[in-house]
A and B are shown apart, each in its own frame.
Chain A
Amino acid sequence: MNPVSYVRAGSFEDAAGILSGDTTARMLGGGTNLIDLMRKGIEQPTRLVDISMVSSSIESSPAGGLMIGASARNSAVAAHPIVREHYPMLARAVLAGASAQVRNMATVGGNLMQRTRCLYFQDAAGSRCNKRAPGTGCDAIGGFNRYHAVLGASPECIASHPSDMCVAMAALDAVVHVAGSDGARTIALVDFHRLPGDRPDWETMLTPGEVIVAVELPAPTLARSAYRKVRDRASYAFALVSVAAGVTMREDRIDDVRIAFGGLAAKPWRAFRAEAALRGGPATPEAFVAAAAVELADAIPLPGNAFKINLATRTLAAVLAQLAGDDR
């Protein structure tokens, strides 16, 4: 690891000020991704600005939702009584991620800012990676790509976004509040992460010098919601496919529905097309499968991850059946 200085920021605005004047500075939250990548030589900041103690409050917002400070620990989000009662898909998604130790360390802002990554990205010594070293090629395409994206990937990069928390936040229409040298602004969480295109090293819509301040959840609107994660081992593994979904029924019709997929793309994948296909229609297995087909129509499977099309379809159908059914 290269020499690095360390300072604790008093506010997000102070941190943004440091960041805008020094492109080699990095914000430090829990460090669970950044410290690991620094040790591997993939991240090489000269300055760490610790923002993990700036604001960890989780409070009701004036709009009837919830404002979650960027320094809040993942474990604090999952433990919060309002999250557990009114945003169960978010509590379940956070609890599906990583391990208890990592959740105690990792911050909400850091979860959004963790690198979209794959094993080839992490293998600095042995693999080509356009994200790590632009223009050098991608060894995942044509390699072991079981965990990689089937939606929104590019010839440059097929890595998938590893977060569970962000998938639920995408389905919940969360809003990211940021501070920067040009002032404060908000970004919808579904627009926060970028697809790789020809710049896989550029992963979010933050401009240089911007820092996440908080994530705001709108007032809860969905009668029932759930998060289901499918993975190669029962715990402490990244998703092959995950589904965050919420449903409100009116008699036997779907009145409202929100769906986001994890494990399929370089960003949490909000399934707007599947939602439109389902809204107002019947809650039948045929409708669920048809909605998944609409959303996955543009998927480009690779030899190692073609199974994800069927897996995503079946996982979505199972979660929707659970949410629309009578049994709780």
Chain B
Amino acid sequence: MAIMINGAAVAPPKDARVSLLDLLRERLHLTGTKVGCNQGACGACTVLVDGERVLSCLTLAVQVDGREVTTIEGLGSESEPHPLQTAFIEHDGFQCGYCTPGQICAASAMLREIELGLPSYVTLDLTARASVSREEIRERMSGNLCRCGAHNGIVDAILQVARERVA
């Protein structure tokens, strides 16, 4: 089998200890995905597996054998940025930029979760379609920390794209 990473087949590592994060950065040199806490607390390493956001630091690469991984490199490019990337620039959704790839990967999956009508902890009616609000975005993005404190710009950027998509 193979891991499909941004559309390219990659052989799983022979050593089962290699995390998906280390496979991406150290072996494939896809350094867009960042190492933050390396213990599941910060979200900087967020990537998509079969379209769902996960933490690559707590995922062993062998666990995603046969599945599709999308990193920030596969989400957009300089010539064709993802709408979230454009919105982050417009709204100053970062300062140092270290958490940004994780924020954008997480936000792209979060938009899909909202489109699917999935509730969050702050959704009042669990059976109804969730609204697109600051409160909802803040709760849904709580797994991604920004130590520069750019959260207001981050929420503004995501809110703009979410309203364009879902409304």
Contact = CB atoms under 8 A, between A and B. Distances in A.
Interface string B67-95: 00000000000000000000000000000
B27 interface: no
B16 A31 contact: no
Interface size class of A (residues with CB under 8 A): 35 or more
Contact of B142 (A36, A81, A88, A99): A99
Contacts of A52: 63
Nearest to A91: B126
Interface in A27-55: 28, 30-32, 35-36, 39-40, 48, 50, 52
Interface in B83-119: 106, 109-110, 113, 116, 118-119
B132 interface: no
A16 to B, nearest CB: 20
Contact of A88 (B110, B113, B126): B126
A92 B121 contact: yes
A236 B118 contact: no
Interface string B36-74: 001110010010000011110011101100000000000
Contact of B43 (A84, A95, A101): A101
A6 B17 CA distance: 9
A166 to B, nearest CB: 17
Contacts of B140: 100
Contacts of B113: 100
Contacts of A91: 119, 126
A78 interface: yes
B43 A6 contact: no
B43 A99 contact: yes
B63 A28 contact: yes
Contacts of A48: 16, 60
A104 interface: yes
A37 to B, nearest CB: 10
B120 interface: yes
B52 A1 contact: no
A84 B53 contact: no
A35 B40 CA distance: 10
A30 B127 CA distance: 27
B143 interface: yes
Nearest to B139: A235
21 contacts: A1-B17, A3-B17, A28-B60, A28-B63, A30-B58, A31-B58, A32-B40, A36-B39, A36-B58, A48-B60, A75-B118, A84-B119, A84-B126, A85-B127, A92-B121, A95-B120, A101-B143, A102-B143, A104-B53, A105-B58, A235-B139
Interface of B: 15-17, 19, 38-40, 43, 46, 52-55, 58-60, 62-63, 106, 109-110, 113, 116, 118-121, 126-127, 138-140, 142-144
Q: Which 8 A-B pairs have the closest CB atoms?
A: A99-B143, A235-B142, A6-B16, A95-B121, A236-B142, A84-B126, A104-B52, A35-B58
